[in-house]
């Protein structure tokens, strides 16, 4: 007797390859920042007054929250990252291929999570080097992994809103 799996789809191998590519791009860029910017404490003014490259280490999370730098906090943040990576990986694995936006969303999230988790493991802190200013306003220094997480979060919000709208339309227009 053969059981048919309804809604089965191909495993997201390409998405996992893309995750590896995003994490590798993040790590390569951070290696450059580590070797080129850190030793000299240099600031490269790519667009003066707006976009600079500046080496920084963040032992905490976004906006330097939980940046005590204690071994217990570093281990806790790494544990959270590992749990998030496992959860997102499982969700990505189970996401049907007829949901390409959701697969892309999870790919960006996982690539960013892994990029920053590698930093926490190797350096004990996340390496940041992208620095944006606008007049007196200064955005916290960030990296490619942070950008991937942000893109993934925005796409997740848009995908969720799309699903809610579709559900609402089905309720109101059966």
pLDDT tens digits, one per residue of 110-164: 999 999 999 999 998 899 999 999 889 999 999 999 999 999 999 999 999 988 8
Give the percent of the chain with pLDDT over 70.
86
Distances (CA, A) of 66 to 42, 85, 127: 26, 20, 15
Find the mean pLDDT for residues 64-73: 66
Contact 143, 29 (CB under 8 A): yes
**What is the Cα–Cα distance from 51 to 131, expressed in whole angstroms?**
6
**What is the Cα–Cα distance from 143 to 42, expressed in whole angstroms?**
17
pLDDT at 156: 94
Distances (CA, A) of 162 to 35, 51, 53, 139, 157: 43, 33, 36, 30, 9
Contact 144, 29 (CB under 8 A): yes
Higher-confidence residue: 173 or 70? 70
- Write out the catalytic residue numbers: 128, 146
- pLDDT tens per residue across span 41-57: 889 999 999 999 999 99
Find the mean pLDDT for residues 6-13: 72
pLDDT at 4: 44
**pLDDT-based confidence at 166, cuts 50/70/90?**
confident
Helix, coil or strand: residue 114: helix
* Secondary structure letter of residue 10 according to DSSP: -
**What is the Cα–Cα distance from 173 to 20, expressed in whole angstroms?**
42
């Amino acid at each position: 007797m053969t059981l048919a799996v309804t809604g089965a789809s191909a495993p997201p191998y390409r998405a996992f390859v893309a995750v590896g590519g995003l994490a590798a791009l993040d790590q390569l860029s951070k290696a450059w920042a580590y070797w080129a910017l850190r030793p000299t404490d240099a600031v490269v003014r790519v667009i003066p007054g707006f976009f600079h490259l500046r080496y920084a280490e963040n032992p905490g999370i976004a906006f330097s929250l939980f940046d005590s730098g204690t071994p217990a906090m570093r281990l806790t943040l790494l544990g959270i990252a590992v749990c998030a990576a496992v959860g997102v990986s499982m969700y990505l694995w189970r996401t049907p291929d007829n949901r390409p936006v959701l697969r892309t969303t999870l790919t960006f999230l996982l690539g960013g999570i892994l990029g920053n988790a590698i930093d926490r493991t190797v350096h004990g802190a996340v390496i940041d080097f992208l620095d944006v200013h606008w007049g007196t306003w200064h955005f916290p220094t960030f990296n490619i992994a942070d950008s991937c997480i942000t893109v993934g979060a925005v796409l997740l919000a848009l995908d969720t809103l799309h699903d809610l709208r579709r559900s609402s339309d089905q309720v109101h227009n059966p």
